[in-house]
């Protein structure tokens, strides 16, 4: 059982998953900061409050309010804002990957190679006739 566990841990997929999880946690902090410190203050400017928690409050008692349509609305807005911010981050990352100058452009074939290909193609055509 110990050797099976060692094989499981040493698999590339497990390591990739662990790295992806840690990176996801790190990105979560960045995205949450963008949403809480940049986007939601803009919502507060537009709507007069930083969230919608006070909208549609019901079932209030002495201990507090148990239900709020606004809390669900706030969660939905937060989800959409976070999804959009992640979309922008992934989009920017993908653009940086495409513009990566590390990959050299494929070299054009020399005149000799082009000539040899033309001769080969002509011989194949002649043999098939």
Give pLDDT, residue 23: 83
In the block, tokens 């194949």 appear at 124
Domains and CATH numbers, the chain: 2-103 (1.10.1200.120)
DSSP assignments along 9-33, one per residue = HHSHHHHHHHHHHHHHHHHHHHHHH
Residues in the chain predicted with pLDDT less than 50, given as ranges, are none
Tokens read off for 34? 């963008």
Q: What is the pLDDT of residue 101?
A: 61
Number of H helices, E strands in the chain: 5, 2
| Residue at token pair 């011989």 | 123
DSSP secondary structure letter of residue 103: S
| Structure tokens that stand for 70 in this block | 């606004």
Locate 81 and state its tokens: 């804002």
Structure tokens at 69: 């349509």
Contact 77, 43 (CB under 8 A): yes
- The pLDDT of residue 113: 86
Is 87 in contact with 66 (CB distance < 8 Å)?
A: no
Q: Is the pTM of this model over 0.75?
A: no
């Amino acid at each position: 059982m110990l050797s099976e566990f060692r094989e499981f841990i040493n698999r590339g997929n497990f390591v990739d998953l662990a790295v992806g999880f840690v990176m996801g946690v790190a990105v979560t902090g960045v995205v949450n900061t963008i949403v809480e410190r940049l986007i939601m203050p803009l919502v507060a400017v537009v709507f007069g409050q930083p969230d919608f928690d006070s909208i549609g409050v019901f079932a209030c008692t002495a201990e507090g309010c148990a239900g709020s349509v606004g809390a669900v609305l706030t969660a939905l807005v937060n989800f959409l804002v976070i999804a959009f911010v992640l979309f922008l981050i992934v989009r920017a990352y993908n653009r940086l990957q495409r513009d990566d100058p590390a990959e050299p452009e494929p070299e054009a074939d020399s005149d000799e190679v082009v000539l040899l290909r033309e001769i080969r193609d002509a011989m194949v055509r002649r043999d098939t006739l």
